[in-house]
Amino acid sequence: MANKHSKKFLIIILTIVTVVCTGFGSSFLEKAGVDRKTAEKIKDSVENLVSGSVRKESQKIVDKVKDFVDIVVTKLQEEDSSSRPANDNRLEIPAEIIGHQIVEHAGYTLSWNRKMLAADWVAYTLTADNLNNPVTSREGEIFKKDPMIQSCPEDSDYKGVGNLRPHPSARGHLKPASDARYSITDMEDTFYLSNCCIQFQFFNSGIWLTAENAVRDSARITGKVYVVTGPVMTDGPYEKFKDKLNIFKSFYKALLVTDGNNVQTIALLIPQDANRKNSLSTYAMSIDELEKITGIDFFPNLEDTVEEQTESTYDITYWPKSFR
């Protein structure tokens, strides 16, 4: 991991130095394996940053640096992805979205949408053993910026969400902290701000919590559940907090259980203004339906015929009573 990060930042530093000193930044990047079009784009970003740094406000300079670093990191990830297995056949991992950064943390993986400043999806597995052997709690944990994502919001960006009107809100986990009590490191990593979005308090502590508990029920009963969760990003425009953070209208969960030859899936799509008294079945749908809404390809590592069969429908009676 250290070598990978060193490579990224070495290229970033050398590119800036080369552009400033010699004007041959794009040539350097091409030699490093970056295609000409991307190299020119990075070179232009750096030149604009340097030439404008004297006269532009500091925040705009910082934003340019973040965009520049994300371009380089994303490009390097695209190159790395060609030489690694298809997500190691991990069933929970959706298909990668071109140009979006994939980040591995202890206990979960996420796809970062730089434009939306939020995760397209967060994917993880949850087992009965995870739930039955707690070693830590969320006490004392604090939200913090994800060090692997340059464009990740700071905690200060969320300051004041509790005073939002008409809906006081919270930093809502995507992978819940309660699903990581089996590991101190995994618990800490759930508090990266890349793993949260603004959620109404009555949603976060109401029907969304009901959905999280239902997922835990599934893990206890079946032994393991594959989980993908995130905000719906296709039903905008969205209200913004501090002119920066999107307040998404809905959130989803895509679930997969394998029980021998029996493969079961179900999706939940829950609006933030949902009545907490409604049953989860009100918001249940097939994976195919959720894919059409979100544009995300869930569970692509299933065998094709199995994927086609299980994602086209769902059986609410298979799932725990908490879904009904």
Q: What pLDDT does 261 receive?
A: 82
pTM exceeds cut of 0.95: no
List, in sequence order, every residue forming a beta bridge with 110; answer none if it has no partner.
Answer: 103, 122
- Here the tokens at position 129 are 């053993």
| Both tokens assigned to 55 | 């006269």
Of the candidates 139, 303, 289, 320, which has an alpha carbon nearest to the alpha carbon of residue 218?
Answer: 320
Residues 217 and 223: beta-carbon distance below 8 Å? no
User: pLDDT tens digits, the chain, 324 residues: what are they?
Assistant: 444 444 455 555 545 544 444 444 444 454 445 555 555 666 566 555 555 554 455 566 656 666 666 666 555 544 444 333 334 479 999 999 999 999 999 999 999 999 999 999 999 999 999 999 999 999 999 999 999 999 999 999 999 999 999 999 999 999 999 999 999 999 999 999 999 999 999 999 999 999 999 999 999 999 999 999 999 999 999 999 999 999 999 999 999 999 878 999 999 999 999 998 999 999 999 999 999 999 999 999 999 999 999 999 999 999 999 999
pLDDT value of residue 65: 64
Give me the pLDDT at residue 83, please: 34
Residue 168 tokens, joined = 């006081």
Around 165, how many Cα atoms within 13 Å sit in the side-chain half-sphere? 0
Residue 133 burial class via C-beta count within 10 angstroms: exposed 0-12, middle 13-18, buried 19 and up? exposed
Q: How many CA atoms lie within 13 A of 177 on its CB side?
A: 19
Determine the pLDDT at residue 89: 73
Is the Cβ–Cβ distance between 251 and 270 less than 8 Å?
Answer: yes
**What is the C-alpha to C-alpha distance for residues 195 and 13, in angstroms, rounded to an integer?**
28
